[in-house]
Amino acid sequence: MKTAARDFPILSRKINGKRLVYLDSAATAQKPLSVIEAEMEFYTKSNANVHRGMNTLSRMATEIYEQAHSKTAKFINAKGMQEIIFTKNTTESLNLLAYSLGEKLKSGDEILLTKMEHHANLVPWQQLAKRKGAVIKFADITIDGRLDMDGLASKAGRRTKIIAATGASNILGTVNPAKEIAKIAKDCNACSVIDAAQAVPHIAIDVKRIGCDFLAFSAHKMLGPTGIGVLHGREGLLEEMDPFLTGGDMISSVTLQGAEWNVLPWKFEAGTPNIAGAAGFGAAIEYLEKTGMENVEGHEKELLKYALKRIGEIENVKIYGPAKGPRVGVVPFNIEGMHAHDVSEMLDRHGIIIRAGNHCAQPLMHEMGIGGVCRASFYIYNTKRDIDALAIAIGDAKKVFGV
């Protein structure tokens, strides 16, 4: 991990004359040179549409694109590429589910969510409930920022059709017990959906071990390009679902009277996909596999422990989230007497990039009794030196504001 930063070209630049300290990987991760080069190589050597022609370039593009599906399936231990659907991002993956999976819901059916969800795993289900007359229930969070599993289990019943929960909170960093959530869903004959956007980049994920029905995540949070996301689904369930988008490449035949759908996963991938993004995504997976997810997780645990101690020692700084138990490298905090946006701007003057606001989780903010929060998030290219720089900059910001 000591040399990882050298692989990321953007980390050599300066912000406001200062060394760039990038602490916003929960929003989007930086890209190693191998990912950038993979996209460039696609455009310079094999740019063509996939599944469209019996020519050299099209065959090369198709091979790259399909290999990316296979690499993704292997990375999360899915059954095969037929269970890997490429979307635009996690949000689109969850919207796909809310439309296609939700078509079978009836009035009075229940959808069980948690109060720590990102809007992407809340609003689509709200819209589905409005369309179908379904009822949404919410599992509470504990005072220390963990999911109330007993409460979740007690709210699941015979009318529950979908249980959707985050694998790891984008604000608190809390890692939820996805395997237990999937079992609760299975016990009441409901479908389990895991929003793993903040989990897959940071911890080893095995969908067979978890036993979930669906799992969604994004390439750009795990060193890959923007504009490409993943929906993993059980093959049998995907076969039963109707597609979310229709048009080219997702059909096997079309007449003036109707159409028949293509085989998985292409049934859910209408139109020309992000082929270059898939090339970059494949390179990102290779980079993470070479690094080793156990090393990624171990490095983040070390940084998190150091950050919680270092930032926690600063007077008038409040840190949120669980003090014990599994947690990804996210440190949410506020400085007493300062607005989160002011803190972010002051840190930017020091070359330190964090994020501030409600982080697309307004209901969670309401539960926590705050309007917003500063969030520092880490990845494989960060070091303890970055944490020290953050702590120093927080101290300087306090001096400027006199707090």
Q: Does residue 360 carry a catalytic annotation?
A: yes
| Alpha-carbon 107 to chain mean position | 30
Of 188, 191, 212, 360, which one is the catalytic site residue?
A: 360
Report the C-alpha gap between 58 and 70 in whole angstroms.
18
Question: Residues near 262 by Cβ (< 8 Å), separated by ≥ 6?
Answer: 249, 250, 251, 252
Report the C-alpha gap between 46 and 82 in whole angstroms.
24
Report the C-alpha gap between 80 and 74 in whole angstroms.
7
Q: Do residues 160 and 181 touch, judged by C-beta distance below 8 A?
A: no
Report the C-alpha gap between 330 and 231 in whole angstroms.
24
DSSP of 248-301, one letter per residue? Answer: SSSEEEE-SS-EEEPSTTGGG--SS--HHHHHHHHHHHHHHHHH-HHHHHHHHH
User: Which residues are annotated as catalytic?
Assistant: 360
